[in-house]
Amino acid sequence: MISKVPRLLFWALRSVRFAAGAAGSSSPQIPWAPPEVGRGSVFSGAVMAVQGSSPLRADSQRLEAKEEEEEEKAGIGGKVQPPPASKKLSRQIDGKQTVECKKKERKKQRKKSYSSNNSIDNLMAEMPFAEVDIELELSTSSKSKPSVKKKRKRLAGKGTEEDSTITKKKKNQDRPNYFISVPITNPKIIDGIQTLQNTIIQKDNRLSKAMIHYGTFHVTLLVMHLSNEEAISNGVGAFLESGGLIEELLQGKPLNLSFQGIDHFRNQIGFVKLTESDNTTTLLKIAEIVKKMFQEKGIIIDDKVLKPHLTFMKLSKSPKLKKQGVKRIDSSMFANFKNHYFGDELMNRLDLCSMLKKKQPNGYYHCESSIIVGKSPETALVKEALHRELLPLLAKVNQIRELLCRPSIRMKIYKELLEQGQLS
């Protein structure tokens, strides 16, 4: 049997080993080694056990072998002796340690398996698009090209901006500001156009701003640009010189212009048509004579072929109409006048008129010069002068008529006459 003192040391070493195992330290476990008899061997064995050296294991094996021999000797005597209590305790402690170690290992495995199962990779692996490359799928098949604003190429040289401004000025300067006009003086034609205008205004009141004033009714033959007073005087001279050629062409015969039907230019300008006849061809010949005379004097004439017409409305006259939603002329509004006969105009005068200068009191354009054509120019001049004077008076008479037609004004007049005792 092993003495008591070494046994105490043995159990002390065992408890140290158990504490080290429970703490899960990384230090090597102390093997079980019962100490040899004697102090020196016990203390040396304890030191070696703490250090975890190999001689301690050898001593423990020897002690186990001695205990087994003693148990066999005791068993030969006929009675099997039970194992000592110390050995039972050691076995129980070893069993508990193994059970606890297994539990710890199981917990670690569970944690690892849980963490691995709950990892993003495992969760994504269960999805139907696990094998799809997300970057390739989400990225557009054709990479959108960045929108690059194209910059206008600037021409080399400092004078490009100056050149552009000069060209703009030239365009503005070359715009027509004068024209050759055949004035419309026949009251029948004027009244017919005014009724046409009134019917259109009744259907759409906004178009009242697009109507041409009756005092400016005319037929345009030519347009030109006269930049200054010298050019204007030069144009007046060329215009007067063409009067003789026009008289030769007409040979004293009056030129009768007939107006029937209406039409429009691109739904922007409404006009009364000039009926085609020999007189219209003669009118075009007169325009050609005046054009050649102006070109000989070095005056620029617009080469656009003009179709002689009598304008009664024009959308460009009021730019606000576009903001109000009026962008086109509805031809159905004057369908009833499509073939209407307005009357004949006896041409007895041609005028060189300004587009920009202030108009005359009767509404007609400012005239730089006029040419009288026909048999009796003197009587034509007198009639034209009287007509110009009568136009503003006629306008005032029409206004008075409109006022008298109002019921409220009639009642006022009636009451005043009753108060004065003039009515019984």
Task: Dump pLDDT digits (tens) for 310-337.
Answer: 999 999 988 888 888 889 999 889 889 9
pLDDT computed for residue 275 by the predictor: 92
For residue 273, give the 3-state DSSP assignment: strand
Between CA 207 and CA 203 the distance in angstroms is 9
222 and 350 part of one domain = yes
Residue 330 structural domain: 174-374
Per the model's pLDDT, the better-predicted residue between 30 and 68 turns out to be 68
pLDDT computed for residue 259 by the predictor: 96
What contacts 345, CB < 8 A, 6 or more positions away? 182, 184, 185, 186, 189, 256, 257, 258, 259
Mean pLDDT of 117-135: 49
Specify the length of the chain in residues. Answer: 424
Residue 109 falls within a domain, yes or no? no
269 and 306 part of one domain = yes
Residue 240 falls within a domain, yes or no? yes
202 and 269 part of one domain = yes
Residue 5 falls within a domain, yes or no? no
Structural domains counted in the chain: 2
324 and 264 part of one domain = yes
361 and 393 part of one domain = no
Residue 264 falls within a domain, yes or no? yes
410 and 384 part of one domain = yes
- Residue 156: pLDDT band (50, 70, 90) is very low
Residue 404 falls within a domain, yes or no? yes
Per the model's pLDDT, the better-predicted residue between 52 and 398 turns out to be 398
Tokens for 182? Answer: 């055949």
Please check whether residue 46 is in contact with residue 9, taking contact to mean a CB–CB distance below 8 angstroms.
yes
Tokens for 50? Answer: 């703490």
Between CA 245 and CA 253 the distance in angstroms is 14
Residue 185 falls within a domain, yes or no? yes
Mean pLDDT of 86-114: 68
353 and 307 part of one domain = yes
Per the model's pLDDT, the better-predicted residue between 67 and 341 turns out to be 341
Tokens for 363? Answer: 């509404």
What percent of the chain has pLDDT above 70? 58
288 and 413 part of one domain = no
391 and 296 part of one domain = no
- Residue 418: pLDDT band (50, 70, 90) is confident
Residue position matching structure tokens 């006629």: 394
Residue 118 falls within a domain, yes or no? no
Between CA 296 and CA 298 the distance in angstroms is 5
- Residue 43: pLDDT band (50, 70, 90) is very low
What CA–CA distances, in Å, run from 125 to 118, 137, 139?
A: 11, 17, 21
306 and 401 part of one domain = no
398 and 331 part of one domain = no
One-letter amino acid of 313: M
Between CA 232 and CA 175 the distance in angstroms is 15
How would you class 106 by CB atoms within 10 Å of its CB: exposed for 0-12, middle for 13-18, buried for 19 or more? exposed
Residue 157 falls within a domain, yes or no? no
pLDDT at 38 over 50: no
For residue 221, give the 3-state DSSP assignment: strand
- Calculate helix-pair angle for 54-76, 39-51, nearest 10 degrees: 120
Task: Dump pLDDT digits (tens) for 265-311.
Answer: 999 999 999 999 999 999 999 999 999 999 998 888 877 767 899 99
Please check whether residue 348 is in contact with residue 372, taking contact to mean a CB–CB distance below 8 angstroms.
yes
Give pTM, 2 decimals: 0.51
CATH number at residue 231: 3.90.1140.10
What CA–CA distances, in Å, run from 35 to 41, 73, 168, 335, 357?
A: 7, 22, 120, 134, 137
Residue position matching structure tokens 């009926």: 275
Tokens for 222? Answer: 């030519």
214 and 327 part of one domain = yes
pLDDT computed for residue 56 by the predictor: 46
pLDDT at 224 over 50: yes
pLDDT computed for residue 405 by the predictor: 85
pLDDT computed for residue 49 by the predictor: 41
pLDDT at 80 over 60: no
What contacts 147, CB < 8 A, 6 or more positions away? none
Task: Dump pLDDT digits (tens) for 230-276.
Answer: 999 999 999 999 999 998 898 888 899 999 999 999 999 999 999 99
